[in-house]
Structure 1
Amino acid sequence: MKRCNLKLLTLTLLTVFGLSSCTDLEIEETDSFISEGFQGLEDPASALNQLYGQVYGAWADQAARYALYEVTTDALLVPTRGADWGDNGRWRKLHQHEWGLEEADIITPFNQYNANQLLASQILDSRSGATADVAAQAHFLRAYNMFTILDLFGQVPFRDVTLSSSEVPAVLSGAEAVNFILADLDAAITGLPSVAAATGDLKRASKAAARLLKAKVLLNRHIYDNQLALAAGELSIPTPAASDMAEVISLVDAITAEGYALEDDYFDMFRDTPDTETIWWAEACVCNRIYNGLHYNSTGLGGGGWNGFSTLAEYYDLFEGNPNDNAFTDVLFSAPASNQEERRGGVPNIGNGNAGSNVGVGFLIGQQYALDGTPLQDRQGGPLAFTRQFVDGSGNVSLINNSETTGIRVQKYQPQYNDGFGAHNLMFRYADAYLMKAEAMFRSGGDPTTMINTLRTQRGASPLGSVTESDILDERGRELFAEGWRRNDMVRFGAYLRNWELKGDGQAGNTTRLLFPIPLPQLLANPNLVQNPGY
């Protein structure tokens, strides 16, 4: 684990333990118990601020939630380069689908998001006396945190804060969990403010954010209602209800009615400037997203990159363009030499004078350049040219003993616009909602080809003659790469269990991996929890 994620994990743990001192609670790392005599929070507004901070920190981390949603898919992997990024195999096991019961990246999000939903419940307790606005925000954040636990683990421990702490938390799963989350979101939609696109405080939830999350829950409801049976291999993915798909479309239309729309300049959305796509952003450092894949010599900002995260060649090849070249021909990032689509980004051969402007956007492959146009070198003096394949010193495909230059790097936040450590981290944006509507149309028997082609044309990609289910998944992969949703999409489309480069032997088709294991300390603390199938 590198730099910022260590800080974030430390801060998260300190925050969780610090909760007891400011709210008369006792929250242990491995459970969600509160102390006897809870009588409400003295300052629910301050508790809400704390809750947002915890949610932001968990989102911005490169480990834990982000690793489970991206590194366990075809989108990202973290090879071991010499002694770097070995970390006892933690990153390799995630990508290979060979994780065990007590991986830090599994335990941490279970603890974080359960602690978060408990704090939201305490804010919502009538004895806390929260204002209507604070309560609406807490309803949204409780739904968001419970949704995350349900999506990853299939079971949500829920503590009724009016009961004694001697009562073990109930466990919600399937339809019961979904209905609870949807009720919270309906309360949030009623109470949250309506914030037009590119206006207002979008780092706090609005009606649009709650509608997007509700649409996401409904789009996945047929998965969540059957998670345990799917993980046990007892059931194939069922057909979603037509009423759910109709409501997804209605919710997205309501978001559109508030002025949210597709942006023309794709990478400008990942700057700290107003745009019509951002629905909810986290006030949290984008440093992990910038530096976790850059080489040590990529930029002088922040002392260089950390040289870890990379994407698979097969994921890169989802995008239109030359598979071996995506060089820009000017310093304005506007003239790709290979005629690739805009989302593929490119590598400039010189900077524009701004620190970090020599670093490209999108996917970085081939020779990298310094600010003055000098070809960069790796630490051994060889060309700093990122390659498509992951190979060891003998040239064998491998996740260990890689050199410093293997793997295509991913760069969504350009360092010259974020000073290397900007704090404008996107969580929800309109293109996600737009593609959810297209998917809901398809699953309802409609034809979303025109919708998909509108997006593709705006992104500089060729229109499709027709759209299949796999086309929609691929389009979501192109549009939302490295934004923390890949696992959720792949599970829903039945693609999470397929084989991909460097997945572990025998893991393709292993339904156990559709859910992560419940951490053992939680099983001991709460007998209402049952270990997920196969663990």
Structure 2
Amino acid sequence: MKTKIILKGFLLSSLVVATFLSCTDLEIEETDSIITADSGSSEFTPLSDPSSSLSDLYNKVGGDFQSQETMYAMSEVASDELLIPTRGTDWGDNGVWRQMHTHTWRADHLFIRNAWNNLNQSIFRATEILESDPSTQVVAEAKFLRAFNMFFVMDLFGVVPFREVTEGPDVNPKVLTRLEAYNFIETDLIEALADLPEGSTGTANTGKATKATANFLLAKLYLNSFIYDGTGTADNATMQKVIDNVDAIAASGFSIDQNGYFQIFEPSDDTETILHLSSEVAPRIWNTLHYNQNSPDNDGGGWNGFSTLSEFYDSFEGAENSNYVGDNQEERRGFVPDATTANSQNLGIGYGFLIGQQYNEDGTALKNRQGQPLSFTKEIPALVGNTEVEGMRLIKYHPYDPTDTEDEKSPLVNSFRRHQILFRYADAHLMKAEAMMRMGGDATTLVNELRTNRANTSVLASVSMDDILAERGRELYIEYWRRNDLVRFDKFTAPWQLKEVSGDPNVNLYPIPQTALLSNPNLVQNPGY
């Protein structure tokens, strides 16, 4: 295969990363929440090819969710699932990763600013498409993409700036309250539903908006409704809407996949994927692996960053201090190949939680750069001052690609493939279970229906709300939803390892970036910042 690995330069060099991430200037950028390059007047020139612009927007959204920064950091690194400890000088980056973990971010945090800009740009671009006399289906897909991006702005920041395409740079965008944004999103999705194609399983059918994706996002919207409307109490009628939308997804043919948990994240068909983004999965692979965990055509190895916490590992069934094949672990916890099980089919790299001694594909025990055993520890003693092996690693997308042809056998096809799952039926299934619980019902049967399809996972005698949250963590880790879940369960401000309890509900929302406040006086900073 001609493609050679260049990922090491993506975000490995600590010096380059620190230089990039340390930029905290307040220069106003051309983002669509502020101005657009061609918005010199109040006149709007319709897009010449709305269909092509829609394709470009799909690609942009995929790129926005590809990075290990911005949305991924805000959704996962800020949760109890991930920690990027500073190892020597590696992953210091002026503290931006530690701020995510400890909830000490500020309004000038680069990840927060870039996420705000990216999402708001996509909202405006979707509106441009809608105002350019597109076909009926393009209208429906653009409304879905506008609702999709607006959902994340509303969820993360609590307010949404909105600019009409006819408004020039001299007009400050109006600001939708959280409830106004909620209603806007709901309307877009309901209107889109009628003209979206039917959703169906298979990788060829899940890369664009369908009725199934709209029903999924509506279910997510309704499940969090009591957070967004400020009441703090779930309404039975709205929870029933969650159930109805999930039932509609099931009626389209989606179901819990029975062919193996980690198979879902391979580039092959499954019955669970509802929406995948056109995002390279390379960051999900290499940001967690050690420098010496190499694979064919990848001389650079991993980036040795992202780790998980022992508390999160302990929420799974299996041996307490190891995760080798046969450690009595449930399927979703994955496994680490040992000297006898490492082979070309797994490259010596495991799935799920990587703890303990790591091996090459020929069964050779790997060493770190100092020549000591490459054995990942369960505990991370501190945020800084760690060695190369502190912390278990967490991986769902694997560098081995079983779909490669024989003359192009390389894991790089897998790591460069643009297929990152964001909406999945197991998530919808658990949303339905939670909605039933919030209505006073019993969701034990539904939760066990999922668990019995995950190998070596026991049946629960009963299910509480805490069990629902824990089950969502076990099923959906590092899939962008953990912060959203923790906020809904009022656990985002709780303490976890190397993070003290904040007790401040204000951190349930991120700050409005300082650049946005400077550019739009209609915006008001969120409380606490």
Determine whether 1:219 maps to 2:223.
yes
Q: For 1:419-458, what aligned pairs fall within 5 Å after superposition?
A: 419=412, 420-458=415-453
Is the Cα contact below 8 Å between 1:300 and 1:355 reproduced in 2? Answer: no
Determine whether 1:477 maps to 2:473.
yes
1:171 aligns to what SS in structure 2? strand
2:367 equivalent among 366, 377, 385: 377
TM-score scaled by length of structure 1: 0.89
**Aligned partners of 2:503, 2:182: CA distance in 1, in Å?**
26
Determine whether 1:307 maps to 2:332.
no
Determine whether 1:293 maps to 2:299.
no
Deviation at 1:354, TM superposition (A): 3.0
2:390 equivalent among 381, 386, 406: 406
Moved more, 409-418 or 64-73: 409-418
Determine whether 1:343 maps to 2:325.
no
Is the Cα contact below 8 Å between 1:74 and 1:315 reproduced in 2? Answer: yes
| Residues 464 and 56 of structure 1: CA distance in aligned 2, closer, same or farther (over 3 Å) | same
Q: For 1:136-535, what aligned pairs fall within 5 Å after superposition?
A: 136-198=140-202, 200-226=204-230, 238-264=232-258, 265-301=260-296, 302=298, 303-328=300-325, 337-350=326-339, 353-354=343-344, 357-391=347-381, 398-417=382-401, 419=412, 420-459=415-454, 460-504=456-500, 507-535=501-529
Total equivalences in the alignment: 492
**Aligned partners of 1:150, 1:59: CA distance in 2, in Å?**
16
Deviation at 1:165, TM superposition (A): 3.8
2:423 aligns to what SS in structure 1? strand
Determine whether 1:135 maps to 2:139.
yes
**Aligned partners of 1:2, 1:242: CA distance in 2, in Å?**
50
Is the Cα contact below 8 Å between 2:119 and 2:153 reproduced in 1? Answer: yes
Is the Cα contact below 8 Å between 2:33 and 2:121 reproduced in 1? Answer: no
Deviation at 1:171, TM superposition (A): 0.6
Is the Cα contact below 8 Å between 1:212 and 1:251 reproduced in 2? Answer: yes
Query: In the alignment, which residue of structure 2 is the partner of 1:75?
Result: 81
1:362 aligns to what SS in structure 2? strand
Deviation at 1:195, TM superposition (A): 2.5
Deviation at 1:283, TM superposition (A): 2.0
Is the Cα contact below 8 Å between 1:60 and 1:285 reproduced in 2? Answer: yes
Deviation at 1:457, TM superposition (A): 1.4
Determine whether 1:122 maps to 2:136.
no
Deviation at 1:2, TM superposition (A): 7.2
Deviations 1:69-107 (A, max 9, x none): 011111001011111100000000110111111010110
Is the Cα contact below 8 Å between 2:54 and 2:126 reproduced in 1? Answer: yes
Aligned residue type for 1:35: G
Is the Cα contact below 8 Å between 2:35 and 2:169 reproduced in 1? Answer: no
2:452 aligns to what SS in structure 1? helix
Is the Cα contact below 8 Å between 2:34 and 2:169 reproduced in 1? Answer: no
TM-score scaled by length of structure 2: 0.90
Deviations 1:428-476 (A, max 9, x none): 1100100000000000111000000111111131111111111000000
Is the Cα contact below 8 Å between 1:136 and 1:187 reproduced in 2? Answer: yes
Is the Cα contact below 8 Å between 1:32 and 1:118 reproduced in 2? Answer: no
1:363 aligns to what SS in structure 2? strand
1:410 aligns to what SS in structure 2? strand
**Aligned partners of 2:187, 2:9: CA distance in 1, in Å?**
39
Q: Which runs of 5+ in 1 are unaligned?
A: 14-25, 227-236, 329-336, 392-397
Aligned residue type for 2:200: A
1:458 aligns to what SS in structure 2? coil
1:415 aligns to what SS in structure 2? coil
Deviations 1:108-162 (A, max 9, x none): 000000000000000001xx12111111110000000000000110010011223
Is the Cα contact below 8 Å between 1:32 and 1:114 reproduced in 2? Answer: no
Q: Which runs of 5+ in 2 are unaligned?
A: 1-6, 21-28, 402-410
Is the Cα contact below 8 Å between 1:220 and 1:492 reproduced in 2? Answer: yes
Deviation at 1:168, TM superposition (A): 1.2
| Residues 355 and 83 of structure 1: CA distance in aligned 2, closer, same or farther (over 3 Å) | farther
**Aligned partners of 2:148, 2:64: CA distance in 1, in Å?**
12
Deviations 1:216-249 (A, max 9, x none): 01111111112xxxxxxxxxx6211111100100
1:282 aligns to what SS in structure 2? strand
Is the Cα contact below 8 Å between 1:285 and 1:425 reproduced in 2? Answer: yes
Aligned residue type for 1:55: V
**Aligned partners of 1:292, 1:349: CA distance in 2, in Å?**
22
**Aligned partners of 2:12, 2:511: CA distance in 1, in Å?**
23
Over the matched positions of the two proteins, sequence identity in percent amounts to 48
2:180 aligns to what SS in structure 1? helix
Determine whether 1:55 maps to 2:52.
no
Is the Cα contact below 8 Å between 1:5 and 1:62 reproduced in 2? Answer: no
2:242 aligns to what SS in structure 1? helix
1:502 aligns to what SS in structure 2? coil
Deviation at 1:494, TM superposition (A): 0.6
Q: For 1:41-52, what aligned pairs fall within 5 Å after superposition?
A: 41-52=47-58
Aligned residue type for 1:338: D
Deviation at 1:214, TM superposition (A): 0.7
Is the Cα contact below 8 Å between 1:30 and 1:521 reproduced in 2? Answer: no
**Aligned partners of 2:35, 2:472: CA distance in 1, in Å?**
35
| Residues 2 and 148 of structure 1: CA distance in aligned 2, closer, same or farther (over 3 Å) | farther
Is the Cα contact below 8 Å between 2:355 and 2:377 reproduced in 1? Answer: yes
1:297 aligns to what SS in structure 2? coil
2:486 aligns to what SS in structure 1? helix
Query: In the alignment, which residue of structure 2 is the partner of 1:16?
Result: none
Is the Cα contact below 8 Å between 1:297 and 1:378 reproduced in 2? Answer: yes
Deviation at 1:30, TM superposition (A): 7.0
**Aligned partners of 2:162, 2:311: CA distance in 1, in Å?**
40
**Aligned partners of 2:10, 2:283: CA distance in 1, in Å?**
6
1:191 aligns to what SS in structure 2? coil
Is the Cα contact below 8 Å between 1:296 and 1:306 reproduced in 2? Answer: yes
Deviations 1:261-282 (A, max 9, x none): 0012100000110110011111
